[in-house]
A and B are shown apart, each in its own frame.
Chain A
């Protein structure tokens, strides 16, 4: 699911500066009560997120089947992943999914949003926004099942291809070694396009209409308006869209699990699926945890530059 965010807060400022507004109040007492207010949320977060995170890192240095003795193996699990093309391939597959879950929805979303903003300010635009957003609220599992059927041998996609004379290329898309990953990716486009469109459109409505009017008076065509006004001024929204969709791509699980479970072969195996298989069917907890740590590091490595870029231009 979408967890949206921006890291654009100036978090690096010294903690002491946050005290400035408290000068006239009874600092100690209110601070203590304030901390009591934070405590329940902090405890739940610490127990079920921060502690498991540290455990993931710890498990990754051990060989463990979940029941028996834990044996320290240092960085062996990481070495195993880097040596095994099947395990490392999951990271590669996840990066391919980024194109479908992130690059395509954000690019297409920008185009669609600017079309709605430019030529469909009325009813058509409102209906389009609602309809395109629809896939975002249905469970990803349901989206997977629906598309599993549409992409099947007798499903809608092949029926449409037949109808337009492309019967020769019909196949069981999700069972095809070359096509399974793009097919899974296409489901991601279907789910995420509406989210990106509506988010980017909202950003456009906040821009000064005078900008667009003066550009149009100067005879700016669609392309000029798009590249000179829309995209540069929407950097923050684009950054948010990229962040949310890239996390969705790298952490993909639900759709892949119900459509292909990683197959055929390892064609659609992504880290989420591989972690699940390693931990819960093969009982290789250390290896699963090492892959988890690599996945979380990868997310941070990709997300932080986007956030940094975002902050630089928006302040």
Chain B
């Protein structure tokens, strides 16, 4: 190994500088959040008298209890349904290899290139016609549809690598397709299903555009969607805005710390698989 001292220390220095740039914004808003509500602090300044009460105030004015309930409801409605139907589709396309599976795969993968912003207008009018506009279903149903390209592609990538022998042995024993799926393949597929579930939960929690356009009442939105409304009301009260922002990103940060490994591998495998 010939790594010079200069390179070693230069490289380490760059890593540390980049980590500071990444973290500093979070420290800055944390310190700002502790300044007296309504004051205009400077960006990096530990207050003489930290106002921990700002977090309580933000929690109350942002209607955090309702928001947590609303977001949790939306996540619990979106994620299990998406997991079940995408796993079934991935199984049929990747493992059963039904006639037309290549065409189906192409159809789903095509959806990966579509930006949400391109189809949000027709979704709005569709929901008006269906009578679900401005309800939580207005967020839940399109999200399930929008996740299908990634979710089906992801589960198919798992099932396509499962050897046929597993199923053949069970078929000889007289197992039905449903038995195969439920008793043999689902237990094996637990890791990719878990990763997909965590990913979709975080995406749903952070979803903004759909919540903004399809639900007028912020208390029926996702966390991120409600943050937009909160910013509208408290744009001039910087400490309170920072406190609210911290409260809203806290749940995802906690999830990330707990499931760090799964989230990172899920995001990365998802991009490289196939």
Chain A interface residues toward B at CB < 8 A = 1-9, 11, 13, 15, 17-19, 21-22, 25, 30-31, 33-35, 37-38, 40-42, 44-45, 47-53, 55-56, 59, 66, 112, 115-116, 118-120, 124-125, 127-142, 145-147, 149-150, 152, 154-160, 190, 193-195, 198-199, 202-203, 216, 219, 221-222, 236-237, 240-241, 244, 247, 250-251, 253-254, 257-258, 271-272, 275-276, 279-280, 285, 288-289, 292-293, 295-296, 299-300, 303
Contact = CB atoms under 8 A, between A and B. Distances in A.
Nearest to B41: A154
Contact of A300 (B19, B93, B113): B113
A6 B206 contact: no
A49 B114 contact: yes
Nearest to B97: A18
B76 interface: no
B119 A53 contact: yes
B120 interface: yes
Interface in B85-138: 85-86, 88-89, 91-93, 96-109, 111-126
Contact of A147 (B25, B113, B148, B202): B25
A120 B91 CA distance: 40
B46 interface: no
A8 B97 contact: no
Contact of A6 (B19, B268, B271): B271
B224 interface: yes
A139 B205 contact: yes
A237 B271 CA distance: 8
B53 interface: no
Contact of B22 (A2, A51, A135): A135
A41 B85 contact: yes
Contacts of B126: 47-48, 51-52, 55
Given A120-B12, A258-B228, A296-B113, 9 more contacts: A15-B101, A18-B101, A49-B119, A134-B256, A138-B249, A159-B43, A199-B267, A296-B115, A299-B113
B271 A199 contact: yes
Contact of B15 (A21, A30, A116, A276): A116
Contact of A59 (B121, B171, B245): B121
A17 B102 CA distance: 9
A300 B118 CA distance: 12
Contacts of B99: 15, 18-19, 31
B274 A149 contact: no
B19 A132 contact: yes
A106 B14 CA distance: 16
Given A34-B98, A149-B29, A295-B115, A8 B274 contact: yes
Contacts of B272: 4, 6, 199, 202-203, 236-237, 240
Nearest to B154: A4
Residue from B23, B118, B126, B202 whose CB has the most chain A CB atoms within 10 Å: B118
Across the A-B interface, the 7 shortest Cβ-Cβ residue pairs: A48-B145, A156-B43, A4-B271, A251-B115, A34-B98, A55-B122, A52-B122
Interface stretch (B2-10, B62-70, B187-195): B2-10
A26 B8 CA distance: 63
A34 B21 contact: no
Given A18-B99, A199-B268, A124 B12 contact: yes
Nearest to A25: B171
A33 B99 CA distance: 11
Contacts of B43: 149-150, 154-160
A68 to B, nearest CB: 13
Interface of B: 1-3, 7-8, 11-12, 14-15, 18-19, 21-26, 28-29, 32, 40-44, 84-86, 88-89, 91-93, 96-109, 111-126, 141-142, 144-146, 148-153, 164, 171, 177-178, 181, 202-203, 205-209, 212-213, 223-225, 227-228, 231, 238, 241-242, 245, 248-249, 252-253, 255-256, 260, 263-264, 267-268, 270-274
Contact of A11 (B109, B150, B228, B242): B109
Given A38-B93, A124-B15, A49 B98 contact: no
B119 A38 contact: no
Given A33-B177, A216-B1, A292 B119 contact: yes
B144 A202 contact: no
B14 A112 contact: yes
Contacts of B91: 37
A5 B117 contact: no
27 contacts: A4-B272, A18-B97, A25-B171, A31-B96, A34-B98, A37-B96, A41-B88, A44-B141, A44-B145, A49-B114, A51-B122, A53-B114, A55-B126, A115-B11, A131-B19, A137-B256, A138-B206, A142-B248, A149-B238, A150-B29, A221-B7, A244-B271, A251-B115, A254-B209, A257-B212, A271-B117, A295-B117
